[in-house]
Amino acid sequence: MLNLALASGIKASYVLFDSWFSSPTTILDVVKKKLNVIAMVKKTSKVHYRYKGKMLPDTKIYSQNRKRCGCSKYLLSVEVDVCGQDRKESIPARLVYVRKRGNRKEYLVLISTDMTISEDEIIRIYGKRWGIETFFKTCKSYLRLTKECSSLSYDAMTAWVAIVFARYMMLSLEHRIQKDDRSLGKLFFHNCDELSDIAWIEAFRLLMETFAEVVTERYMLADDEVDSLVKTFIATLPTTLKNKLLQCA
């Protein structure tokens, strides 16, 4: 499926999947296609990751480390290596242990092969899967995705899936028009433009006030020196930002 998607010109930064597919072999295969993985992994003693030179399951890694206190979104974050069956091939990854909603004694384990993003970003990106889950639930429960087509032909099944998805899009569009406030047309966009302008000016005003306060406190400058510094700063900005700052003044 990934090969078909890539061959069709579909571009993506991450491949998301649940614990059913998140074996080290699958993760390595996806990374070979120059795609990063963010997935949920199973809490099991049968799957091992290389951590501090030892092959350990995610449950053992969890028990060996101190957990974060407070109300943070995650309990623990560690760097590991995802290894192939012969352990000669490996890639770096990050395991993020997340609190499970409704049961503070339980946790979920996420893995990311992108080492440049934060733990909060990993959680946020993986959370996008929930929209996919509700989409398939709707297609199967209400649009009869799995019941109305009994053909064994791949082309027929592909066409049937396209029809069901078209049904979903039409229902979503109708719901958007009837229920969503974003469908109020020019009145909505006019209000958004007005609010965004106010927020823009206010944000720059607060920015310049904070800048002046920090400079005054740290470097003990006189008011005229601070004003001169602010004017010099504004003069170096692009014209669009400069005009906004002058409005703030």
- Can you give the pLDDT at residue 192? 63
**pLDDT at position 121, please?**
92
Mean pLDDT by 10 residues, the chain (249 residues): 85 87 90 92 91 92 85 86 87 92 82 92 89 87 86 89 91 80 62 59 74 75 78 75 62
Counts for the chain of helices (H) and strands (E), in that order: 9, 7
> Three-state secondary structure along 76-120?
EEEEEEEECCCCCCEEEEEEEEEEECCEEEEEEEEEECCCCCCHH
What is the structure's pLDDT at 189? 64
Give pLDDT, residue 197: 55
pLDDT for the residue numbered 133: 84
SS3 51: strand
CB 115 within 8 A of CB 94: yes
**Contacts for 213 with CB less than 8 Å, ≥ 6 apart:** none
